[in-house]
Amino acid sequence: MPPLPRTAPETQALFLLLNDALPQTQCTRCGFPDCAAYARAMAEGQAAINQCPPGGQAGIERLAAISGQPVLPLNPEHGTEGPRHVALIDEAWCIGCTLCIKACPTDAILGANKLMHTVIEPWCTGCELCIPVCPVDCIALENVTDTRTGWSAWSAQEAQTARTRYASRQQRLAHEEAAHQAHLITEAEHTLADLPSHTKGADKPPEMDRKRAIIEAALAKAKARQTGA
């Protein structure tokens, strides 16, 4: 007989256990935007347990024990198991574009626009997401675990650090987006309050009406984003 469908609480409990068993590298190689999304998909029966290269075969065995599914080999479509790497930036070639900073899921890259960047090694998960965005190919990967792979190359403490830093980054990005939307709303409201002085050809009603409609639409969109509607 096929297994009975899980209740929502059972699915949530399974999701938490599966997420705890993932390495939290946030590398997206599983095909999902982060480890939590992959865990959610597994809990809901929408993803197989063999899609996480950083966890390797040991990770698959952990997920199998939690989910009650049979152990499978790692799906090569998602990559291969290997040693842990950390990113290194050739500071002589770095142009300070900040693209790698924006790509790093754990805020492990320090730098600013047009200034040299550097990687904070203890926070780097080896996700490789900074590699393809670098326009001058100044980022390389260094093997830091020799022949140790999967969970032999990654500890529970390192996974927890990565998870905490990823959560902090998500909160920071949400705060910055909220501040940006608040700024847009303030600017739009100020413009509407004194529309004639902000409108070229203010003596022409059609032009005033057109600009008012554009600003009101932008204002409504910004408020919807602010409230998450």
Nearest to 221 by CA among 175, 172, 180, 171: 180
CA distance 20 to 63: 10
What are the pLDDT tens digits along the chain (229 aa)? Answer: 455 578 999 999 999 999 999 999 999 999 999 999 999 999 999 999 999 999 999 999 999 999 999 999 999 999 999 999 999 999 899 999 999 999 999 999 999 999 999 999 999 999 999 999 999 999 999 999 999 999 999 999 999 999 999 999 999 999 998 888 888 888 888 887 777 777 776 566 777 778 788 888 877 887 777 676 5
How is residue 206 written in tokens? 């059609």
Query: What pTM value is reported for the model?
Result: 0.83
Is residue 2 helix, strand or coil? coil
Report strand pairing: 139-143 vs 118-119.
Answer: unpaired
Single out the residue of 108, 122, 99, 22 nearest to residue 32, CA to CA.
22
Three-state helix/strand/coil letters over 153-214: CCCHHHHHHHHHHHHHHHHHHHHHHHHHHHHHHHHHHHHHHCHHHHCCCCCCHHHHHHHHHH
Domains of the chain: 8-78 (1.10.15.40), 85-152 (3.30.70.20), 171-227 (no CATH)
